């Protein structure tokens, strides 16, 4: 599979963001779910996620060294614009779902003592972080798809 430099950069971005997201969310959830922001262990997880992200991006870019950089042409700009629009719309959908979850949970709370999913500042922060990561994944996936299809 012959990849251009731009495709390699997108693949690196996609792989690193998914790997760091998996690391962060598994460790954050194991520290007591998404409800505790004051746990010192969560601070260590955040620092480790940042360090892993930086180190892995540098290492992968060195391994897949760019021989020569190409200037963006109209095709690259069009692909990036289309991917940005897909990412924007996916982020809007995810944020709407989060708002709906808050409204439903708060509405059910008036009638029942059981909450299907806890809603507090910490959980909303994690839901928004998931939405941002998913929209970035959508952007990278659309870019890879369009480069592979030759659009």
What is the span of the domain harbouring residue 129?
Answer: 5-149
116: confidence class by pLDDT, cuts 50, 70, 90: low
8: confidence class by pLDDT, cuts 50, 70, 90: confident
129: confidence class by pLDDT, cuts 50, 70, 90: very high
**What pLDDT does residue 4 have?**
78
114: confidence class by pLDDT, cuts 50, 70, 90: low
Exposed e or buried b per residue across 18-57, where buried means at least 16 C-beta atoms within 10 angstroms of its C-beta: eebbeebbebbeebeebeeeeeeebeebeeebeeebeeeb
Is the confidence at residue 140, as pLDDT, over 90?
yes
What are the residues whose beta carbons fall under 8 Å from the beta carbon of 11, sequence distance 6 or more? 3, 140, 144
Tens-place pLDDT, residues 46-98: 899 999 999 998 898 888 766 667 778 898 899 999 999 999 999 999 999 99
Q: What is the CB neighbour count within 10 angstroms for residue 127? A: 19
111: confidence class by pLDDT, cuts 50, 70, 90: low
Q: Are 35 and 120 in contact (CB under 8 A)?
A: yes
Q: What are phi and psi of 70, to 5 degrees?
A: -105, 145
**What pLDDT does residue 6 have?**
84
Q: In whole numbers, what is the pLDDT of the chain averaged over residues?
A: 86
Among 18, 44, 17, 26, smallest CA distance to 126 is for: 26
DSSP state, residue 37: S
**What pLDDT does residue 112 have?**
59
- Structurally, the chain folds into a number of domains equal to 1
């Amino acid at each position: 599979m012959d990849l251009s430099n731009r495709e390699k950069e997108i693949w690196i971005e996609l792989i690193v963001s998914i790997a760091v997201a998996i690391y962060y969310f598994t460790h954050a959830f194991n520290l007591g779910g998404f409800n505790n922001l004051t746990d010192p262990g969560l601070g260590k997880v955040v620092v480790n996620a940042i360090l892993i992200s930086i180190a892995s991006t540098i290492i992968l870019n060195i391994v897949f060294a760019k021989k020569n950089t190409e200037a963006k042409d109209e095709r690259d700009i069009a692909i990036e614009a289309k991917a940005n629009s897909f990412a924007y719309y996916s982020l809007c959908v995810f944020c709407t779902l989060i708002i709906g979850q808050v409204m439903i949970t708060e509405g059910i709370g008036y009638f029942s003592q059981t909450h299907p999913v806890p809603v507090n500042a910490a959980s909303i922060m994690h839901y928004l972080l998931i939405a941002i990561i998913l929209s970035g994944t959508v952007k990278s996936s659309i870019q890879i798809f369009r480069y592979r299809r030759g659009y």
